[in-house]
């Protein structure tokens, strides 16, 4: 008989740490979930700050050494909400300790590390999940259902644009996301990773890519202190070692074509995460800045009545929505994390899930790696297949 509760240890107390903590707090209050997560321990680098975080968010205990967290016998799930440089070592250690692993995106810096993480999780027989949280936005989950049901016919185009502006000012100080040794890459891994996963979720596998990227601001004020997407300046300057913008074209295995654009230097765009899917019988459009809306165009509508209709994905029939509010009472960013934790608990209880596992995460990394390879070699690059 499956346990009714399961103990969670979360590593990370900043942007993602807050989002994940809120999800564990809320999930059993709105969803019938089994097992129910117990917020057993939080882990951060600074003991005093981590103790305060534990008190604020309701964690029973805290650690300042992630290795100790992974080794604790009272922890069943390790949630990795840290910069990408730490994902590989933490996930492998957690799997070796027999813990289920929930990891932020992108899964790893490179395909070799991603495969090692996948192998470790498979050998340990533990649940492994990557937090591509846009999969559980109700409007996007609805889009996936409609595409699967053939409502837009044969998919021909996937068009993705992810624009942010938080790095537009050259006086914005350094942040871990601007260092290759901590983040792995810039806009490519941070933003394009989401769209690669969306593309695979909605359309299918990507076979070949060709891209270009650029760092527009090569040097910034040195970091004093940073958290999330904020930072204060220290003394001197520091070189930026990742891309500010990456664009690439893609050929899908099923014959569809794709275009992907990601930048963190687009003034006025805060989290403009837009995808458009064109098929033989219609089109779908989603923009996260209006995350409760899915636009749908059907070629089956009669002449003179054709046009994009706005579907408010807030009815109880839409994925995940029945657990929340009445129709029209919109959901927000934080709800996607609650949905992801709900899916994680379901997977632990051996239920099917919409979420990405480590194989999906590794296949995403394979696409990102191929984009970089195409840029270096100046030609199309084939995407390796992860099995």
Whether 88 and 143 share a structural domain: no
Whether 57 and 96 share a structural domain: yes
Q: Has residue 269 been placed in a domain?
A: yes
CATH value at residue 91: 3.40.50.720
Average pLDDT value over all residues in the chain: 97
Whether 128 and 142 share a structural domain: no
Domain end among 109, 133, 157: 133
Whether 209 and 146 share a structural domain: yes
d(CA 179, CA 242): 6
Range(s) of the domain holding residue 108: 5-133
pLDDT at 1 over 60: no
Q: Would you place residue 226 in the very low, low, confident or very high pLDDT band (cuts 50, 70, 90)?
A: confident
Question: What tens digit of pLDDT does each residue of 251-293 get?
Answer: 999 999 999 999 999 999 999 999 999 999 999 999 999 999 9
Q: Would you place residue 232 in the very low, low, confident or very high pLDDT band (cuts 50, 70, 90)?
A: confident
Question: What's the rounded mean pLDDT across residues 74-99?
Answer: 97
Domain end among 89, 108, 133: 133
Q: Would you place residue 22 in the very low, low, confident or very high pLDDT band (cuts 50, 70, 90)?
A: very high
Whether 192 and 93 share a structural domain: no
Question: What tens digit of pLDDT does each residue of 44-77 get?
Answer: 999 999 999 999 999 999 999 999 999 999 999 9
Overall number of domains in the chain: 2
Q: Has residue 161 been placed in a domain?
A: yes
Instruction: Give the per-residue pLDDT at 2.
Output: 62
Within the chain, what is the greatest distance between any pair of CA atoms? 66
Lay out the sheet containing 257-263: strands in order across. Answer: 309-312, 293-298, 282-287, 272-279, 155-163, 257-263, 245-252, 206-214, 381-382
Question: What tens digit of pLDDT does each residue of 166-193 get?
Answer: 999 999 999 999 999 999 999 999 999 9
Q: Has residue 221 been placed in a domain?
A: yes
Instruction: Give the per-residue pLDDT at 342.
Output: 98
- 252 contact partners, CB below 8 Å, separation of at least 6: 155, 158, 199, 203, 204, 205, 206, 207, 258
Q: Has residue 175 been placed in a domain?
A: yes
Instruction: Give the per-residue pLDDT at 229.
Output: 80
Instruction: Give the per-residue pLDDT at 43.
Output: 98
Q: Has residue 346 been placed in a domain?
A: no
Question: What tens digit of pLDDT does each residue of 315-346 get?
Answer: 999 999 999 999 999 999 999 999 999 999 99
CA atoms within 13 A on the CB side of 35: 17
Whether 171 and 152 share a structural domain: yes
Whether 58 and 163 share a structural domain: no
């Amino acid at each position: 008989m499956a346990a009714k509760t399961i103990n969670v240890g979360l590593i990370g107390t900043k942007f993602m740490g807050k989002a994940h903590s809120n999800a564990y707090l809320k999930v059993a209050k709105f969803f019938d979930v089994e097992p129910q997560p117990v917020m057993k321990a939080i882990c951060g680098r600074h003991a005093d700050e981590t103790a305060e975080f534990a008190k604020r968010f309701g964690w029973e205990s805290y650690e300042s050494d992630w290795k100790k967290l992974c080794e604790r016998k009272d922890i069943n799930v390790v949630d990795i909400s840290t910069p990408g440089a730490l994902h590989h070592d933490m996930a492998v250690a957690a799997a070796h300790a027999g813990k289920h692993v929930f990891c932020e995106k992108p899964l790893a810096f490179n395909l070799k590390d991603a495969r090692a993480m996948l192998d470790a999780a498979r050998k340990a027989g533990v649940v492994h999940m990557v937090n591509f949280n846009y999969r559980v936005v109700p409007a996007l989950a609805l889009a996936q259902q409609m595409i699967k049901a053939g409502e837009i016919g044969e998919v021909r185009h996937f068009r993705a644009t992810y624009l942010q502006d938080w790095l537009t000012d050259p006086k914005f100080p350094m942040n871990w996301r601007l260092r290759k040794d901590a983040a792995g890459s810039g806009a490519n891994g941070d933003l394009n990773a989401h769209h690669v996963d969306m593309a695979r979720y909605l359309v299918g596998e990507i076979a070949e890519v060709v891209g270009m990227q650029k760092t527009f601001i090569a040097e910034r004020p040195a970091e004093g202190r940073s958290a999330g997407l904020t930072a204060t300046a220290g003394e001197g300057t520091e070189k930026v070692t990742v891309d500010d913008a990456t664009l690439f074209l893609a050929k899908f295995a099923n014959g569809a074509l794709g275009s992907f654009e990601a930048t963190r230097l687009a003034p006025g765009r805060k989290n403009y995460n837009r995808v458009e899917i064109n098929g033989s019988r219609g089109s779908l459009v989603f923009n996260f800045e209006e995350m409760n809306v899915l636009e749908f165009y059907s070629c089956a509508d009669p002449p003179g009545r054709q046009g994009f209709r706005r579907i408010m994905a807030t009815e109880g029939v839409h994925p995940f929505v029945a657990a929340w509010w009445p129709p029209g009472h919109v959901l927000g960013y934080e709800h996607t994390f609650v949905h992801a934790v709900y899916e994680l608990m379901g997977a632990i209880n051996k239920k099917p899930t919409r979420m990405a596992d480590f194989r999906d995460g590794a296949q995403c990394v394979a696409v990102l790696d191929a984009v970089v390879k195409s840029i270096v070699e100046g030609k199309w690059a084939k995407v390796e297949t992860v099995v």
